[in-house]
Amino acid sequence: MTNPAPPAAVRREDAAVDARSACPVDAVLRLLMGPWTTYILYVLRTQGPRRFGELKREVTGISAKVLTERLRMLEEAQLVRRDYQATIPPQVTYSLAPRGAELTPMLDMVKDLALRWQTEDAVALQPARQAAE
């Protein structure tokens, strides 16, 4: 689960709030949530280290604001590494940190599941093929 704005009614039940906030699974899933996040990780994983501008161009449609937010969040979570070179113009390179790489097997698992379900659904919706032959 993910913790939204704790409403007043819940804010009083600290036990419940803690139970949700302390869930370690939730903490990790919350990192991946939100638009663009897995997309950014995907680009870094498959394309290798990228500079800010390159990322912005490859993650089509993202705004600089959100890209910055996501990168800061991922950096804080140690999923992404930020290399800043104070040249002019400045050169900032983002790459997958060790923890980011550790997510790979799990993301692959999600991918396999997703593709399998997709196939199963497609097959289930195609009894016409058998009937037509």
Partner DNA sequence: TAAAGTAGGTACTTAAAAGTAACCATATAA
Partner DNA sequence: TTATATGGTTACTTTTAAGTACCTACTTTA
Instruction: Indicate whether 15 belongs to the interface with DNA (CB under 7 A).
Output: no
CA 30 to chain centre: 9
Q: Is 20 exposed, middle or buried (0-12, 13-18, 19+ CB in 10 A)?
A: middle
Instruction: Indicate whether 123 belongs to the interface with a copy of itself (CB under 8 A).
Output: no
CA-based Rg of the chain, rounded to a whole angstrom? 20
The reply to whether omega before 24 is within 30° of 0 (cis) is no
Selected binder of a copy of itself within 55, 59, 71, 80 (CB under 8 A): 59
Instruction: Indicate whether 61 belongs to the interface with DNA (CB under 7 A).
Output: yes
Which 87-116 residues touch a copy of itself, going by CB under 8 A? 99, 102-103, 105-107, 109-111, 113-115
Contacts within 8 Å (CB) and 24+ apart, 38-42: 38/107, 40/67, 40/70, 40/71, 40/74, 40/80, 41/74, 41/79, 41/80, 41/96, 41/100, 41/103, 41/107
Selected binder of DNA within 35, 111, 115, 123 (CB under 7 A): 35
Interaction partner, residue 68 (DNA, a copy of itself, none; CB < 5-8 Å by kind): DNA
| 21-29, 50-58, 95-103, 114-122 -> range binding DNA (CB under 7 A) | 50-58
Q: Which residues here bind a copy of itself, judged by CB under 8 A? A: 1-4, 7, 9-10, 13, 15-17, 19-20, 23-29, 32-40, 42, 59-61, 78, 99, 102-103, 105-107, 109-111, 113-115, 117-118
